Structure 1
Amino acid sequence: MTTFKVDIKIVLLICLVFVSFLADQTFGHPVAVVKPLQTIFNVLAYGAKPDGKTDSTNAFQAAWEATCKHPEPARLVIPGGVFLVRQVKFEGPCNNKSPIYIQLRGIVKASIDTSTYTEPEWITFEKIVGLNLNGGGTFDGQGPAVWPKHDCMSQAKCASRAINLKFRNITNARIGRITSKDPKGFHMCINGCNNFRAKALEITAPGDSPNTDGIHVSHSNDVTIAKSVISTGDDCISIIQGVNRIKIADVVCGPGHGISVGSLGKYKNEEDVHDVLVKNCTLIGTKNGVRIKTWPDSPPSAATNITFTNIKMENVTNPIIIDQNYCASAKSCRGNKASNVKISQVKFNNIRGTTPTECAVKMHCSPSFPCQNVQVSDINLKYVPVGPTNILARAISECANIRVAVAGFVIPPLCK
C-alpha cells in the first residue's frame, strides 16, 4: 500500500489560488465584498447599571461620544436590563464614514425629577449622517409620575413635559423595532431631517394622557412612517410646517386624535406643506380620523397635494375633517378672522367604517381662501349611534367654502 505525504503549505497555497480565481471569474459577476466588522461600544463598559435605580446618564453619554468619535464602523449597544437616565444628547457630526448603529435591547427609563430637565427633550439625536436605531427595546418616559402634578397648558415653558425622542437634523435615518412608552410630553419629534424611515414602532400611552402626540413631523423631507401601532392621548401622527414628501402607510392608530396635517398657520413665516400620502391605515376608537386643521387669523401659507386613501375607521368620532377655524383651547382662540392657509389638491379615497357621530364628514374651509381641487371618491361611513339603535339613522356631511368633486359610491352624500 502506497502512502502519500501531504504538505500543508502546498494545500493552503492551492486553496488561496482557487479562491482568488473564483473572485475574478465567478460567472462574470463581481463577488460581494465583506463589510468590515463593527466595533462594539457597550454602555456597561462605561459604568451603566441595568438595575433601574442607578443613574446611568454619564455612562450613556460617554459610550455615545466614544462611538461617534470612532473612525471605523461602530455600534452602540444598550443590552438587556433597565437603565435609569436623565437627559442624554447623542450629537454629531461623527467621524464614521458609515452609518452608526444603536442597538437597544433593554429598557431605558426617564428620571421623574423634572428639575433636571433643562431642555424640552429627554433623549435627543442630532446632526448625524447615517443613523440606525433598532433592537426591540423600550424608551419609557415615566409620564404617569408627572402628568397629575404639572399643568403645562398654563405655563409658557414646561420642562416636565419633555419629549421622549427628538430627531433633529438627521440625514439618512432608519428607525425600527423600538417602543416609546408614556412620555411626559410628545413621544417622538422629527425636525429638520432628510431621508428618514421609521417602521415597526410601538408607541403607547393611555388615551387620556395629556398632549402625548405620537409622531410630530416638521421642516423635513422624504419621511416614511410605516407598519407601526400608535396608541396615545393626542394625534397619532401630526404633520406641520415645512414638511415635503411624507408617506404614512400601514399604521394602526387608537386611542388618539387621529392622523393630522396641522395645525398650520400658528406662527409667522411658516413654510408650506407639500406631497402628503396617508394610505392603508386603520383608526380605532379615535377622536378624529384623517384631518387637516389650520388656525384662523393666520399668516399666509399653503398645504397642497394631500391624499388619504384606503383608510379603515372603527368607531371614529369625526372620520373626515377639514377645519380652518381650529382652536386648541378657549385661551388660544383668535376670534372670527379667516385663515390665510391655502388648501388645495386634496383627495379622500376609499375611506370606510363606522362613527358614533351623525356628522361623519366636516369640511369647513376659509372664506378668504376656499379649498381648491378637493376630490372625494368611494366613501362609506356608517352612523352607529351609542345607545338604542335608530334603524333610520344616516350619516350626514357639512361643507363651507369648498367645492367637492365626487366620484364613485359616497355615503354620506356630500355637498358639491
Structure 2
Amino acid sequence: MAQVKLLLLFMLTFFLHNLCLSSHSQSSFVDTQVWSSSHHKVFNVEHFGAKGDGTDDSKAFEKAWAKACSASSSSILLVPKNKKYTLKPVEFRGPCKSPVTVLIKGTLEAPSKLSDWDANKMNTWIMFNTTKNLAVRGGGMLDGKGQVWWQKSCKINSSMALLFRKCKNLVVEDMTVKDGQQIHVWFRRCSNVDASKITISSPDESPNTDGIHITDTKNIIIQNSIIGSGDDCISIVSGSRGVIARKILCGPGHGISIGSLGSNHSLANVSDVLVDDVRLTGTTNGLRIKTWQGGRGYAKHIIFQNIVMDNVKRPIIINQNYCDQDEPCYVQESAVAVSRVLYKNIKGTSASKAAITFNCSQSIPCRHISLQNINLVGEDGNASTSVCSNVVHWKQDGNVIPAPCALN
C-alpha cells in the first residue's frame, strides 16, 4: 500500500509538472521555423558585435540578453551555427518582461587561460539567474575547456560550467556540454524544470566533474540524456524534492547519487525521487545514497527501477558513514535518516564481489528497504554477495540475487 501511494504521488507530481510546462510551452516556446514571426523578436548576438573569431564576445552576449530580457513580447536570443564564440564568465540575469528562448546553434567556448577569468566570478562560467519561462536549446555546444582547471582541482571551491539559479518554469534541451571546469550543469533553487536530450562528456579521470547537480530544486525531470564524466552522472543534494531521472545512459562516472547529505552537522532533506530506465556502464558506483555522520534530516521516498548495470563496481550502495576528508570521521549519535527506498527490476553485472552494500548508521538505521526482482552477478558469472549493517524492516518480492543480508 505504501508503494502504491508513493507511485500515485509521483504520477500526480508528473501530471502537475507537465501541465505547467505545457502551458508554458504554448505561450513562450517557439518552433525554430517561425523566427520571422512578428510575435517573437530575434536578437542575433552578431548584431551586437559578437565575432566568433576567438576574441572575447562576452559584452556582445550581455547586450543581446539585455534587449531580449527587456522585450515586451516573447523573444529569441540567437547564437548562430558554424561559429565558436569565446565567453569569459558571464551572468544572464532576470527577471525578464516576457519569456525568452536562448537558441544556441553554434559553440560557446570558455577561456583557455585562468588569467582570463574574473577573480570575482571564478566559480561560474555561464549563469542564468532569477528567470521565469526561460528555454535554452538549439543543438549547440558549450565547451568548458576544463583541462587547465583539472590540474588545479580543489573540492572546497567547486566551479561549474553552466548554472541555473532561481529559475522557474525552465526548459533545457538539445545541447552538449563538454569538459566542464568541474560541475557541468547545476540546477540550484529552481522549480518546474524539464531537461532533456542533454549530452555531457568529460574524461573519467577529470576530477569533480559531476554531470548534472541538483540542489534545493523542486519538480525537475531529466530524461533522454547521455552523461559521462569524472564524478557523479547525476547528483541530488539537500532541499530537492520531486526529482525524476528517466532514460539516462551513464558512464564513465560515479553513477547516480543522492548526496552527500549532512556534512558539518547540517540539516539535509531529499524526498520523492524516481530513477527509472537507466543504463550504467563501467561506473564506480551504480545507485548510491551517501550521508555523513552527525547530520540531520532525511532521504526518503526513493524509487530506483528498471536499471541495467554493465561492469559496475558497487551497483547498489547506501553509505550513512560517508567520509570524504583527510581527518578520520568518528561515530556520532545523529544522522540523516534513510527510509522508504525501493529497488525494483535491476539486473546486470558487478565488478566487485559485493553487489549490494548497506552501511547504515548505528544510531539511526536504514528503514523500510524493499528489493524486488534483482539479478546482479559477477562479470565472470560467479555469484555476488550482499554486505549489510544496521538495516531494519526489510522486504523482498520476487527473486533477489544476491540474497539480502537479513534473509541469508
TM value normalised by structure 1: 0.85
1:317-328 map, 5 Å: 317-328=313-324
- Equivalent residue, structure 1, for 2:190: 193
Residue 251 of structure 1 contacts residue 280 of structure 1 at CA under 8 Å; is this kept in 2?
Answer: yes
Structure 1 residue aligned with 2:252: 255
**1:104: which partner in 2?**
104
Question: Which deviates more from structure 2 when the two are superposed, residues 285-294 or residues 270-279?
Answer: 270-279
Which of 120, 123, 127 aligns to 1:124? It is 127
Structure-1 separation of matches of 2:38 and 2:192:
25
* 2:264–2:294 Cα contact (<8 Å) kept: no
Change (3 A) 1:216 1:267: farther
Match of 2:383 in 1: 394
> Shift of the alpha carbon at 1:142?
0.2
Task: Provide the residue aligned with 1:277 in structure 2.
Answer: 274
Counterpart Cα distance in 1 of 2:349 and 2:305: 16
In 2, distance between residues paired with 1:410 and 1:370?
22
The letter of the residue matching 1:326 is Y
**For the structure 1 residues 340 and 146, does the alpha-carbon distance in structure 2 shift closer, same or farther, using more than 3 Å as the test?**
closer
- Counterpart mapping for 1:11-410 below 5 A: 37-51=39-53, 53-80=54-81, 81-96=83-98, 99-115=99-115, 116-117=117-118, 118-119=120-121, 120-148=123-151, 150-153=152-155, 156-157=156-157, 162-298=159-295, 300-331=296-327, 333-338=328-333, 340-385=335-380, 393-403=382-392, 404-410=394-400
2:90 is matched by which residue type in structure 1?
A: V
Following superposition, the deviation at residue 330 of structure 1 comes to 2.6
1:151 deviation in Å? 3.8
Q: Is the 8 A contact 2:113 2:148 kept in 1?
A: no
The SS at the match of 1:61 is helix
Could you tell me how far 1:276 is from its partner in structure 2?
A: 0.4
Q: Aligned partners of 2:333, 2:310: CA distance in 1, in Å?
A: 33
Residue of structure 2 in register with 1:8 after alignment: none
Q: CA deviation at 1:129?
A: 0.5
Letter in 2 for 1:108: L
Deviations 1:307-351 (A, max 9, x none): 0000000000000000001122434x4223355111111000111
**Aligned-pair distance for 1:164?**
0.6
Give the 3-state SS of the residue equivalent to 2:224 in structure 1: strand
Identity %: 38
Structure 1 position 71, deviation (Å): 1.0
1:178-201 CA distance string (max 9 Å, x none): 111001110011011010010000
3-state SS of paired residue (1:272) = strand
CA contact (8 A) 2:252 2:283 kept: yes
Kept after mapping to 2: 8 A contact 1:174/1:198: yes
Kindly state the Cα deviation for residue 372 of structure 1 after the two structures are TM-superposed: 1.2
Residue 67 of structure 1 aligns to a residue whose secondary structure is helix
- Measured in 1, the distance between the counterparts of 2:276 and 2:402 equals 21
The one-character-per-residue Cα deviations of 1:250-303 (angstroms, maximum 9, x if unpaired) are 0000000000010010145534111000000000000000010001222x1111
SS in structure 2 at match of 1:373: strand
Runs of 4+ in 1 over 3 A off after TM superposition: 32-36
Is the contact between residue 114 and residue 148 of structure 2 (CA under 8 Å) also seen in structure 1? no
Q: Which whole-Å CA distance do the structure 1 matches of 2:143 and 2:334 have between them?
A: 38
Deviations 1:340-393 (A, max 9, x none): 1111110001110001210100011111111111100100001125xxxxx6x3
In 2, Cα distance between equivalents of 1:270 and 1:173: 27
Letter in 2 for 1:84: T
Q: CA deviation at 1:152?
A: 1.5
2:252/2:282 contact within 8 Å kept: yes
* Distance in 1 separating the partners of 2:330 and 2:319: 15
Q: Which amino acid aligns with 2:105?
A: R
Deviations 1:86-138 (A, max 9, x none): 01111101111xx2100001110001232424221100001101011110001
Gaps of 5+ in 1: 1-31, 386-390
Separation of aligned partners in 2, 1:287 and 1:219: 26
- Aligned-partner residue type, residue 139 of structure 2: G
State the shift of 1:37 in Å. Answer: 2.3
**What is the CA–CA distance in structure 2 between the aligned matches of 1:342 and 1:356, rounded to whole Å?**
29
1:137-170 CA-to-partner distances (Å, cap 9, x unmatched) read 011000113322x1414xx54xxx5311000000
Please give the TM-score of this superposition, normalised by the length of structure 2: 0.87
Cα offset, 1:73, TM superposition: 1.2
Range with bigger deviation, 340-349 or 138-147: 138-147
